[in-house]
Structure 1
Amino acid sequence: MTKQPRTNLDRVNARQLEQNRNLFGRLSAASLASRVQAQRMLKSAGELSITEWRVLWDLAEAGPLTVTEMAAIQRTDHALISRAVPGMVRKGYVTTSISEADRRQSLIALTGYGHQVFERTSLVMSARRAALSRTFSEKELNTFIELIDRFEAFVEAPLSENLSIEVAQ
C-alpha cells in the first residue's frame, strides 16, 4: 500500500500543531497581540505610543522618576524610554530636570497637561485591564504570573544552567 503524499495544507496544519506547544513562539505571539491591541486602544483615546502611555502612567502613579527607575518598573530597555522623553517634552507631557540624588540622571516629571492626557487615556486602558481581570480568576492570574516568573528566570539564566548539551561558541 502506498502512502498518500500530504498536501501543503496538511503539512502546515501539522507544523502549527507542533508550534502550539512552543512556549518561546507562543509568548512572543501573545506579546505582539497585546501590543497591537494596546496600540489600537491608545489610538482611540488619542495619539500616545505604548512607551509614552507607560511613562505617563508611571509618573502619575509614582511621581517624578528617572529613566532608569521607569525602565526597572516597566521591565524594559532604558534606551526605549530615553528615546521617548524628548518627544514627550516637546508635546508638553513631561519636564526634565537634573536629579538632586544623582546629578548624572535626569528626573522626569508629569506636567499638568501630561496629567490631563494620562487621565483621559487611563479610562480606556483601565477598561482593558478590567476586561482582562474578568478573563482570569484571582487564582488563575496568580498561577499565570508564577509561570511567567519561572519562564523569565529560565530565559535570563546563563545558558550553561539550562542546557545539558554543549553549545558551540
Structure 2
Amino acid sequence: MTTSQQERLDRFRARQTAQDRNLFGRISGAALSSRSQAKRLLRSVGTLSITEWRVLWDLVEAGPLTVTEMATIQRTDHALISRTIPPMIEKGYVVTTTGAEDRRTSLVAITPSGHTVFDETSATMAQRRTAIKDAFTEAELDTFLALIDRFERIVEGPMPAVSQTEDVA
C-alpha cells in the first residue's frame, strides 16, 4: 500500500470512528437496517410493503382510522400513508368511507382480503418483534425508550442554546 493510500485509509477510519458517536447517523442507520430486515421478511412470506403491512396492522389492532391517525401511530409522514392507501384500495386490502361527524375526513378500514394478507405475514413480523424485545431486559428497554423520547423532544422542539467555547492554543 502506498503512503497516499494509507493516509486516505487513515482519514476514512478516523472519520468512521468519529461518526460512530453521531446520534443522527446512528439512529438513521439503525432505522435503515430495521427497514431492510422488515422488507426481507415480508418478501419471504408475501408481497406487502412495510408501509402496507403497518397500515393493515394498525387497522387490525385499532379498527377504522384516518390517515392522520395512522401517521401519528406510526410516527411517520402523513403523505407516505396517503400515497399508500390508493394502491391498497385497488388491491382490495382496504376501503375508505367518509367520516360521519366530519365529512372532510375519510376513515380507512381493512377488508377480508386485507385481513387474509395480514394474517399471512403477521406471525413472521410478531417473531421479529419478539426477537428484538427479547434482546433487552425490561429495564434496558425502558431506558432505551426513555432515551429515544428525550432525543425526539430535543429534535422536535426549538434549537437548544449551544454554549460557545473557545479553543485555547
Match of 2:79 in 1: 79
Q: Which amino acid aligns with 2:33?
A: A
2:121 is aligned with 1:121: yes
Match of 2:139 in 1: 139
> Aligned residue pairs: how many?
161
Q: In percent, how many aligned pairs have the same letter?
A: 61
Match of 1:60 in 2: 60
Alignment partner of 2:102: what SS? Answer: coil
- Please, what is the CA RMSD of the aligned residues? 1.4
Alignment partner of 1:65: what SS? Answer: coil
Q: Map 1:143-154 to 2 at 5 A.
A: 143-154=143-154
TM-score by length of 1: 0.91
Aligned partners of 1:93 and 1:110 also within 8 Å: yes
Q: Which amino acid aligns with 2:94?
A: V
Alignment partner of 1:153: what SS? Answer: helix
Q: 1:11: how far off?
A: 1.5
Match of 2:109 in 1: 109
Aligned partners of 1:154 and 1:162 also within 8 Å: no
Match of 1:96 in 2: 96
CA distance in 2, matches of 1:55, 1:101: 23
Q: 1:8: how far off?
A: 1.6
Q: 1:20: how far off?
A: 0.5
Q: Map 1:9-24 to 2 at 5 A.
A: 9-24=9-24
Q: 1:7: how far off?
A: 2.1
CA distance in 1, matches of 2:130, 2:7: 44
Distance 1:87 1:136, change over 3 A: same
Q: Which amino acid aligns with 2:73?
A: I
Aligned partners of 1:55 and 1:70 also within 8 Å: yes
CA distance in 2, matches of 1:19, 1:62: 39
Distance 1:100 1:163, change over 3 A: farther
Task: List runs of 5+ in structure 2 lacking aligned partners.
Answer: 165-169
TM-score by length of 2: 0.91
Q: 1:14: how far off?
A: 1.3
Cα deviation code 1:77-118 (max 9, x no counterpart): 111101100000000100111011211011100001101111
Aligned partners of 1:92 and 1:111 also within 8 Å: yes
CA distance in 2, matches of 1:15, 1:125: 36
Task: List runs of 5+ in structure 1 lacking aligned partners.
Answer: none
Q: 1:162: how far off?
A: 4.3
